[in-house]
Chains A and B, each alone.
Chain A
Amino acid sequence: MRRYWQTLICFWGTALAMQAEYQVNLLIELVAIALSLGGSLFTLSLFFGPGYSLGGWNWSEALVVQGFYTTLDGIANAWLRPNLGSIVTYVREGTLDFVLLKPVDSQLWLSLRLMALSGFPEIALGLLLVGWGGLQSGAEASVQELLTVVLMLLSGTTILYSIWFLVAATSIWFVKMWNATEVLRTLLASGRYPISAYPVSLRLLFTFVLPVAFLTTVPAEVLLGRVVATPMLLLSLALACIFFLSTRAFWLFALRHYTSASS
């Protein structure tokens, strides 16, 4: 366990050193984050007006959902996108062989090797937005509820990671799957609005097939006290476990079909 921590710290140290080389890019990323959040808030504001709400959520409540989405997007930008995005390259160029030979679990290496600095301001902004929206809508969250929300956010991250890894792992068969993760991003972008803003058929899809609802809407509902927290937390944790275990099983299954680049 301690060895794994040391390796992770070493990984992220080198990743940060690598990014410090492109300082202008970091600045561009910061501007991009600000622009993108501004644009999202502007688009969200178009759905509100005197007497209008979005699927039964008022402006400040919808801000909480937007905040959770921004936080998750930040996590995705910090870890999921750089790491899981390069699995395809490893498979295509045959460098996955070197990963498999390392004395570290291959899934761990592939999932956590890199870290992008630009995700962190986004995570911070998202959490700020959650806090602001929560205060504005008069949510009175106890310590226990806050803890529940943090746990739900973690299990939401696990669900997101599992789906993403699952799709990226199929590149072992299809080789060129670069855009599959882009499809995923489009579908996950639907998480920036409360799930009740969608028609019933899409609501079912986003709850049971692709559980986007558990990533943003349900944590927001818990924070705002709109639902009973405990069953939702249990459901979310159960989903996270199921998704993670299936991903793990799928990766082990996929490795048995991996035949390197030249053989």
Chain B
Amino acid sequence: MRLFGLNCRIVAAILGSQYAHMLEYRAEIALWSLSGVLPLIMLSVWSSSGIRTTLDMNDVALDRYFLSAFLVRQFSVVWVVYAFEEDVLLGRLSPYLLQPLHPLWRYVAAHLSEQFTRLPFAAAIAALFLLIQPKVLWLPGPGTLLLAWLATWMAFAIAFLLQSLIAALCFWSEKASALERLLFIPFVFLSGLLTPLTAFPPAMQAVARWTPFPYLIDFPARVLAQRPVDWMAGFCAQLIWITLLLPLALCLWRAGVRRYSAMGA
């Protein structure tokens, strides 16, 4: 039986092959995880600044928030637009389209296996941080852990769908990845990667909550760091964004494939 074009054997096969591929380039993935230390650098600026006292978090809570933000970011990084653009330009997409499986599944599998390869490196960086700051260590209960895992996974889904939208534009323009910058910049500033969202002025906070970005980092990080958070509203917002983006991405994709005429044709 097939569900969304997938069955157990197909899932095992693409995940296995993608994981083997990612392991081959593990040195590069180690550098990827290292390049995610931006929240930890921002943490050091925040914790030595005077204005920290006006935040809703004390020292330890701030450390936990930024460490959680680092971890959430590690497991919700999305790069589908770059991989897809290269596949379109080099004509590798044509054989994928012939297979009885939606090509997006292949990219989903690549991302999941990349996250799995990244796990030990991210854990090592987090462990190093905890070694320097042992009093930050906290053990979330299994319930919290499950919720945080779910929130991170939903964040990954939103980010993936957003980027697939741009990736589908590759069918029309050969340099669609330039558009990705326009998505990435508001993401960096509004997601809570550089500052906890509660540090924003109230008006700015209200604006940010209408964008998908706070649900990509701030919300899952708060769940993981066990900050008081309205998790019902958070999960609802995440679900709404997914149900909004999924049909949009699929429609744009279908229209694009109809237009697609392979490179050189």
The distance in angstroms between the C-alpha atoms of A39 and B195, with both chains bound, is 12
> Could you tell me if A43 and B189 are in contact, using CB atoms closer than 8 angstroms?
yes
Q: Across the interface, which residues of B come within 8 angstroms of A36, CB to CB? A: 185
Nearest chain-A residue to B47 (Cβ)? Answer: A199
Taking the closest CB of chain B, its distance from the CB of A51, in whole angstroms, is 8
The distance in angstroms between the C-alpha atoms of A198 and B38, with both chains bound, is 13
Q: How large is the interface on A (under 10, 10 to 19, 20 to 34, 35 or more residues)?
A: 35 or more
Nearest chain-B residue to A37 (Cβ)? Answer: B185
B interface: dominant SS: helix
> Could you tell me if A183 and B35 are in contact, using CB atoms closer than 8 angstroms?
yes
Q: Across the interface, which residues of B come within 8 angstroms of A28, CB to CB? A: 178-179, 181-182
The distance in angstroms between the C-alpha atoms of A85 and B204, with both chains bound, is 36
CB under 8 Å from chain A, chain B span 24-43: 25, 27-28, 31-32, 34-38, 41
> Could you tell me if B27 and A176 are in contact, using CB atoms closer than 8 angstroms?
yes
B51 CB–A CB distance under 8 Å: yes
> Could you tell me if B49 and A197 are in contact, using CB atoms closer than 8 angstroms?
yes
Taking the closest CB of chain A, its distance from the CB of B6, in whole angstroms, is 30
B69 CB–A CB distance under 8 Å: no
The distance in angstroms between the C-alpha atoms of A32 and B177, with both chains bound, is 13
Nearest chain-A residue to B32 (Cβ)? Answer: A179
> Could you tell me if B195 and A183 are in contact, using CB atoms closer than 8 angstroms?
no
Q: Across the interface, which residues of B come within 8 angstroms of A174, CB to CB? A: 27
Q: Across the interface, which residues of B come within 8 angstroms of A43, CB to CB? A: 189, 194-195
A189 CB–B CB distance under 8 Å: yes
Q: Across the interface, which residues of A come within 8 angstroms of B195, CB to CB? A: 43, 46
Taking the closest CB of chain A, its distance from the CB of B89, in whole angstroms, is 13
B188 CB–A CB distance under 8 Å: yes
The distance in angstroms between the C-alpha atoms of A12 and B194, with both chains bound, is 36
Number of B residues, CB within 8 Å of A? 34
B186 CB–A CB distance under 8 Å: yes
Taking the closest CB of chain B, its distance from the CB of A216, in whole angstroms, is 14
> Could you tell me if B28 and A176 are in contact, using CB atoms closer than 8 angstroms?
yes
> Could you tell me if A186 and B37 are in contact, using CB atoms closer than 8 angstroms?
yes
A55 CB–B CB distance under 8 Å: yes
> Could you tell me if A32 and B181 are in contact, using CB atoms closer than 8 angstroms?
yes
Q: Across the interface, which residues of A come within 8 angstroms of B194, CB to CB? A: 43
Q: Mark A30-73, 1 if CB is under 8 A from B, else 0.
A: 01100110010011001111011111000000000000000000
A227 CB–B CB distance under 8 Å: no
Q: Across the interface, which residues of A come within 8 angstroms of B199, CB to CB? A: 46
Q: Across the interface, which residues of A come within 8 angstroms of B34, CB to CB? A: 183
Given A46-B200, A187-B41, A189-B38: 11 more A-B contacts, CB < 8 Å: A25-B178, A28-B182, A29-B178, A46-B199, A49-B51, A52-B50, A55-B49, A177-B28, A179-B35, A186-B37, A202-B44
Q: Tell me the B residues contacting A by CB distance below 8 Å.
A: 25, 27-28, 31-32, 34-38, 41, 44-45, 47-51, 54, 173, 175, 178-179, 181-182, 185-186, 188-189, 194-195, 199-200, 204
What are the 6 A-B residue pairs with the smallest beta carbon separation, nearest first? A39-B189, A179-B31, A52-B51, A183-B35, A182-B35, A32-B181
